[in-house]
Structure 1
């Protein structure tokens, strides 16, 4: 069953919620925006949440405010970062609350993973094909969110986030729930040998099954490969100690579904960004 459920409400943008988590854990809000329900104009139409793509800053802030209103959280609680395709994690405290919500200059700098125990704090990250990774520990009441493109995946930001939750909050992997959100699928993500060689290297260092690379890298003509980023991240999450029954994986491909999502690759690099969020109240 698809873990990200599309919900439409009158006068609000359509959103993709992790419905099973929110039903099981009252006070938790987690999900992913679509490209609809905002004010941005083409090629960012219409719910672009990224300030870094040369859209009108006024439009982007209005879109972010619409997201806040839709999920019933104050805009002042939304916290954004300047993402750099790395694996560094920020422990988000009350001091960082609201950073980056209205300007890039005031965002958390050079981070791609975020964890918190703060109630009322909304962690946000931006996507347009890269893989959103959601984490929630119902025992310690801690949440995490990570941005995993191919570079962050190869750096194993998934494990870095889980380890950071353990070190900062005492979260045990067996208690943590993880979800892999809408992103470019193996159906659409073709890469060259340069990227494939780095993926092969990380698989060799982290996986004991000799044929596992064939599940992640599917050979194509002309020395190309199809890359399954969702599966590679799922495997890293499981190897970090999270039970397979606690891992949700989407079937939604951003490149296949540009009617609902922005896709950097499909749309030639000129497009908007979706926001992933997770919050505890």
Structure 2
């Protein structure tokens, strides 16, 4: 299993994980080149809520989706709030949040569907995008897992919601963890570290690491271990292994930019 960052056209790049079947699912992780947004959002900012001009964001979305072979008018997105709310999208919801942030589907941090023709999209810049695909029921879920969401097991809660809505069984699910901040760049305070120790006592030492007087948090491992604990097999979980803070030529990093930057997009659409 591997992550590939591929040049699509016109300096537009998209990452993908080869664990997902291309004949059933279109997915991608955008990079920051090929758009029209000015500094500090340069250039392919995909988010409407960071201060960029909406016309720039729409043009960026249009370009990236077209390069993926998708229609940006079919975007369905949410207002991410670092919580654990999960919402189901239907084909009728295609277009929600595509042009207008206020028109997004819900205040939530994960969205699921078993309808084709609706392009699920989340925006991020360091937080972990977790993609879930159920090949048995042809259902998908996309999750925004920052430290708060990871602590509250939002990926596992999304998996459970897919079980309720679609009959998804964890052992069938394929999961992908996209580009996001790696443990080497992600330092946290003692309070956050203690909360992870309390929440994940069985494998806290793999998530929280003391290095040179600083505490580092590994959100990739936190999400991987909780998915395995929930019933996924290790071979069905793929990681990009790309740190957004380390590779700022291709990716946005909220931390590295002191909070003033664009956002990447994680996208899933069922065929």
Aligned with residue 123 of structure 1, among 120, 124, 134: 120
1:94 maps onto 2:88 in alignment: no
How far did residue 118 of structure 1 move? 0.5
How far did residue 269 of structure 1 move? 0.7
Q: What secondary structure, in the 3-state scheme, does the structure 2 residue paired with 1:90 have?
A: strand
Aligned match of 1:258: 248
Aligned match of 1:174: 171
1:216 maps onto 2:201 in alignment: no
Q: What secondary structure, in the 3-state scheme, does the structure 2 residue paired with 1:108 have?
A: coil
Aligned with residue 71 of structure 2, among 69, 74, 80: 74
Segments of structure 1 that go 5 or more residues without pairing to the other structure are none
Aligned with residue 36 of structure 2, among 28, 35, 39: 39
Aligned match of 1:19: 18
Aligned with residue 226 of structure 1, among 198, 208, 216: 216
Whole-Å separation in 2 of the counterparts to 1:9 and 1:215 = 36
Contact 1:12 1:70 in 2 (8 A): no
Whole-Å separation in 2 of the counterparts to 1:221 and 1:182 = 25
How far did residue 272 of structure 1 move? 0.3
Q: What secondary structure, in the 3-state scheme, does the structure 1 residue paired with 2:16 have?
A: strand
Aligned match of 1:152: 149
Whole-Å separation in 2 of the counterparts to 1:29 and 1:143 = 11
Q: How does 1:1-12 map to 2 (within 5 A)?
A: 3-11=2-10
Contact 1:216 1:231 in 2 (8 A): yes
How far did residue 157 of structure 1 move? 0.3
Contact 2:134 2:174 in 1 (8 A): yes
How far did residue 221 of structure 1 move? 4.9
Contact 1:128 1:254 in 2 (8 A): yes
Q: How does 1:200-211 map to 2 (within 5 A)?
A: 200-204=197-201, 207=202
Q: What secondary structure, in the 3-state scheme, does the structure 1 residue paired with 2:268 have?
A: strand
Q: Spell out, residue by residue over 1:3-28, the C-alpha distance to the aligned partner (whole angstroms, 9 max, x if none).
A: 3211113336111122342xx34031
Whole-Å separation in 1 of the counterparts to 2:197 and 2:151 = 9
1:190 maps onto 2:194 in alignment: no
Q: What secondary structure, in the 3-state scheme, does the structure 2 residue paired with 1:105 have?
A: helix
RMSD: 1.3
Aligned with residue 55 of structure 1, among 52, 55, 60: 52
Contact 1:48 1:63 in 2 (8 A): yes
How far did residue 235 of structure 1 move? 0.5
Aligned match of 2:259: 269
Whole-Å separation in 2 of the counterparts to 1:13 and 1:25 = 19
Contact 2:91 2:117 in 1 (8 A): no
Segments of structure 2 that go 5 or more residues without pairing to the other structure are none
Whole-Å separation in 2 of the counterparts to 1:229 and 1:7 = 25
How far did residue 95 of structure 1 move? 2.9
Q: Spell out, residue by residue over 1:60-108, the C-alpha distance to the aligned partner (whole angstroms, 9 max, x if none).
A: 1110111210111122211111000011110111232210011111012
Contact 1:4 1:31 in 2 (8 A): no
